[in-house]
Amino acid sequence: MVIRDFHIAKREEDIGYYAGFVGSSFMIGRALTSVLWGVVAEHYGRKPIILSGTISVVVLSTLFGLSINFWMAVITRFLLGMPAHNFYHYQAYATEVMRGEQQTLGLSAVSTAWGIGLIMGPAVGGFLAQPEDKYPNIFSKESLFGKFPYFLPCFVISLIALGVTMASCWLLLHK
């Protein structure tokens, strides 16, 4: 839907082609920087890397929701992929801070949270996208959510990421 609303595809059949660029730009950013983040985490520690990753989700998800054209969407998704390393750092951190008998539970909790996010992210996006059409009694076409029909789900994800950032700060400071 985002690609359709950017009016970059000449035909309906071309929407998937352009959506592939937006989707793959995230993974390209991730692939180009994953090793670098591992090296940085080994040198400076996992705590600042985890916090920088969650803060970047807050900022870049909001910017993605405010994308005004196809290339802004591709670039913000690419930038969002660059710090998309936290899953592995949370796993490593869990093994470092938990005793041997608790590591299995810690690693499974990280993996479960990741899986829930993979399910809930698209569900939230689908439910909250284009709120001016789905919920006209709450959101008008002249509002921010009318001008940026995909901002609301991105904003909600940013708020969740902000909560994760605050929880991470608490956890990381109390270790």
CATH of the domain at 162: 1.20.1250.20
Which residue range is the domain that position 24 belongs to?
2-173
Q: What is the pLDDT of residue 47?
A: 84
Looking at the structure of the chain, the number of domains it has is: 1
Which tens digit of pLDDT belongs to each residue from 59-91?
A: 999 999 999 999 999 999 999 999 877 777 778
Which tens digit of pLDDT belongs to each residue from 34-60?
A: 889 888 888 988 888 888 888 999 999
Cα gap 121→81, rounded to integer Å: 15
* Of 81, 38, 34, 50, nearest in space to 165 by CA: 50
Q: What is the pLDDT of residue 175?
A: 59
Between 152 and 46, the more confident residue is 152
Res. 119 pLDDT band, cuts 50 70 90:
very high
With beta carbons less than 8 A apart as the criterion, state whether 54 and 63 touch: no
Which tens digit of pLDDT belongs to each residue from 7-20?
A: 888 888 888 999 99
